[in-house]
Amino acid sequence: MPAAEVEARLARKGWPRGWLLGWRDITNATNERTLIASVTPRVAVGDTFLLLLPHESSPIMIAGLCTNFNSLVLDYVTRLKAGGTHLKFHVTKQLPVLPPQAYERPCPWRPGETLADWIRPRVLELVYTVWDLAPFARDLGDAGPPFRWDPERRAQLRAELDAAYFLLYGLSRSEVEYVLGTFPVLRQNEERSFGEYRTARLVLAAYDALITAQTLGEPYRSPLQPPPGDAAARHRGTSSN
């Protein structure tokens, strides 16, 4: 599709951002996850990448929506609702996503911050790994270069976000353990690669730490060094040229 036609279609939809949000339509029993969402550059996409253009929400709330879509707890619900190998709009419209206002509320495990404040550096480091997504970063108030792709850091960041959404959905620890046990492909792949179900270990550890911070009224501190979204985790350079 010519770039001009892409722009014309987005203009008719009233989408002003330099990036897009969508999810993969095709799914099957051999995938680690069912709902796979992503922020992409503002380019043409095929019909198996379904676009979601929530222009009424702020960029940080849209980033929160993307994180919510990729959470294990919502993936579990998606598998209960989805039938066949397609994940169409009529299914995603039924999913119990958090409302935009949730990100404006105080963060239970980080006094003095909103949930959006806590999520923002983690989303940035996970999503903003190429210059093509600089418009997304700029909309979140970030002016730096992209983050390096570090698998170990990414696993911890995703675990912290998954643990957070388990808590936001009100699941107890035993319920979290049950949900984690319903991802056999993820478990088998990680046991083959790491000798353990790494996601389960990291998520439960983060869940326990978030609960402790929330109970004591103290800020949760990530074990990552440098911390999430830190400049030391970025590529060097100041422009994409």
Any domain includes 240: no
Question: Looking at residue 181, what is its pLDDT?
Answer: 97
Q: Is the pLDDT of residue 241 over 50?
A: no
Q: With contact defined as beta carbons under 8 Å apart, do 156 and 199 qualify?
A: no
Q: Residue 10: which residues within 8 A CB-CB, separation 6 or more?
A: 42, 53
Note whether residue 238 is domain-resident. Answer: no
Q: Which residue has 């419209």 as its token pair?
A: 93
For residue 145, what is the DSSP state? Answer: P
Token pair belonging to 141: 């108030």
- How far is 223 from 227, CA to CA, in rounded Å? 8
Please check whether residue 40 lies inside any domain of the structure: yes
Tens of pLDDT, residue by residue over 89-122, are: 999 999 999 999 999 999 999 999 999 999 999 9
Asked whether residue 164 is assigned to any structural domain, the reply reads yes
**Distance of alpha carbon 50 from alpha carbon 93, whole angstroms:** 13
Closest by alpha carbon to 93, among 60, 55, 52?
52
Helix (H, G, I), strand (E, B), or coil: what is residue 86? strand
Residue 104 belongs to what domain range? 3-233
Of 222, 21, 199, give the one whose Cα is nearest residue 118: 222
Q: What is the pLDDT of residues 124-176, one digit of tens each?
A: 999 999 999 999 999 999 999 999 999 999 999 999 999 999 999 999 999 99
Per the domain annotation, does 91 fall within a domain? yes
| Domain assignment present for 50 | yes
Cα distance between residue 154 and residue 53, in whole Å:
26
Q: Is residue 7 part of a domain?
A: yes
Reported residue count of the chain is 241
Q: What is the mean pLDDT of the chain?
A: 93
The torsion angles phi and psi of 20, rounded to 5 degrees, stand at: -130, 160
Nearest CA-CA partner of 19 in 140, 151, 144: 140
Answer whether the bond into residue 226 is a cis peptide, omega within 30°: yes
Residue 63 lies in a domain: yes
Confidence of residue 238 (pLDDT cuts 50, 70, 90): low
The predicted model scores a pTM of 0.93
For the chain, count helices (H), then strands (E).
10, 3
Number of domains the chain is built from: 1
149/235 Cα distance (integer angstroms): 9
What's the alpha-carbon Rg for the chain, to the nearest Å? 18
